[in-house]
Amino acid sequence: MPDKKDPIVCSAAPDQRRTVLVLALGGTIAMTPTSAQGGVTPTLTGSDLVTAVPGLQDFEVTAEDFRRLPGASLTTGDIVELTHRLEQADREGVHGVVVTQGTDTLEETSFLADLYYRGDMPVVFTGAMRSAFSAGADGPANLLAAAQTAASPQANGQGVLVVLGDQIHAARHVRKMHTTSPAAFHSPESGPLGHVIEGAVRLHHDPSRHIGLIALPVNPASRPPEVDIVTASMGSTGVLLHGLEKKLSGLVVAALGAGHVPDTWVPRLTALATEIPVVLASRIGTGPVLTSTYSFPGSEIDLLDRGLIAAGSLDPYKARLLLGAQLAAGAARPEIAEAFRRYA
């Protein structure tokens, strides 16, 4: 395990005798032009992806087609089932797993897998911003760097990682921050955990995992609790908040700034918080919600006093997944609040 006091915690050449399992879920990395409208759709198999990457054959790589979907169509159930496959691969003695998928939901799927996955075997999510046959396709280089990371003993015990553009991110921090750029993934709160350089993993700091927070649902097909996000904006009257207690098991508010909503939202949020857990996150995407600075109506102090739960530095999308996973595990409000406190 890395020494927390040392800023550069490791650097080692890839060990090519290590076994890597590639689980392919679809996404742009597997997309080719097929549709009548001229767009791309996921067509390539996991072994198509592996065969196309020079250097990958040097590892002992096997590929499985787990799903063949755009990122937007993946579900919580898919990721629960994927996590069961990860735990099984760990038991089988696989050295590391690469998950290839659409970048649209990669920051969410990897975080959900990180909440559930308890093993030490490296698990690395990757994808591509450019489809397989486009000029400058980034998929092959991303897949190679992801496999080098998954094969690296230095990645053991680091939780679920995300590798794109030779940067290694913790799933807990990573966000997609551009719609088209190949450099779309960043960890704005913490910076990347490390880099892949000349095929070797260099980690700059420790991701501080929160292991074993949440029990993995036994049945991936069971219906997950309905949890959704409502975003605050200037002058909004909060019309979307009405009747939510009948539709949702939990709500995340993507608030303005450090955790603020228009004062017109306050009565409705107060009523909702007596019925279902309501989590206060920020729509900004970087930085935590505050807990003790502002006290105007609709401020963080006001809303937390009215029973909302602070999301810490989790963005609304990751907060929604943590809340949903807690509810699926049967957690009551104090346990939910405690889970969020750990991410503060």
Chain residues that interact with ligand ASP, rule: CB under 6 A: 27-28, 70-72, 102-104, 127, 129
Contacts 24+ apart (CB under 8 A), 337-344: 337/309, 339/213, 339/214, 340/279, 340/309, 340/310, 340/311, 340/312, 340/314, 341/310, 341/312, 342/210, 342/213, 342/312, 343/172, 343/210, 343/311, 343/312, 343/313, 343/314, 344/288, 344/310, 344/312, 344/313
Distance of closest approach, residue 33 Cβ to ligand ASP, in angstroms? 14
Distance of closest approach, residue 25 Cβ to ligand ASP, in angstroms? 9
Q: Which is nearer to ligand ASP, 127 or 140 (CB)?
A: 127
Compute the distance between CA of residue 35 and CA of residue 113 in angstroms, rounded to an integer: 31
Q: Which is nearer to ligand ASP, 34 or 222 (CB)?
A: 34
Half-sphere exposure of 243 (CA within 13 A, CB side): 3
H or E stretch covering 100: strand 96-100
Give the residue closest to ligand ASP by C-beta: 102
Q: Which is nearer to ligand ASP, 94 or 129 (CB)?
A: 129
Distance of closest approach, residue 106 Cβ to ligand ASP, in angstroms? 7
Distance of closest approach, residue 178 Cβ to ligand ASP, in angstroms? 11
At residue 250, the 3 state secondary structure works out as strand
Distance of closest approach, residue 127 Cβ to ligand ASP, in angstroms? 5
Q: Which is nearer to ligand ASP, 72 or 234 (CB)?
A: 72
What is the chain's Cα-based Rg? Answer: 21
What φ, ψ does residue 250 adopt, rounded to 5°? -165, 150
Q: Which is nearer to ligand ASP, 71 or 194 (CB)?
A: 71
Q: Which is nearer to ligand ASP, 104 or 206 (CB)?
A: 104
End-to-end CA distance of the chain: 24
Among the options 28, 83, 103, 105, which is catalytic?
28
Compute the distance between CA of residue 128 and CA of residue 62 in angstroms, rounded to an integer: 20
Distance of closest approach, residue 31 Cβ to ligand ASP, in angstroms? 7
Compute the distance between CA of residue 123 and CA of residue 97 in angstroms, rounded to an integer: 5
Q: Is 28 considered catalytic here?
A: yes
Distance of closest approach, residue 107 Cβ to ligand ASP, in angstroms? 11
Q: How many helices (H) and strands (E) does the chain have?
A: 9, 17
Smallest CA-to-CA distance from 318 within 293, 342, 292 is with 342
Q: Report DSSP letters for 171-234, one per residue.
A: TTT-EE--SS-TT-EE-TTT--SEEEETTEEEE-S-----TT-SPPPS-TTSPPP-EEEEE--T
Q: Which is nearer to ligand ASP, 133 or 296 (CB)?
A: 133
What residues are labeled active site?
28
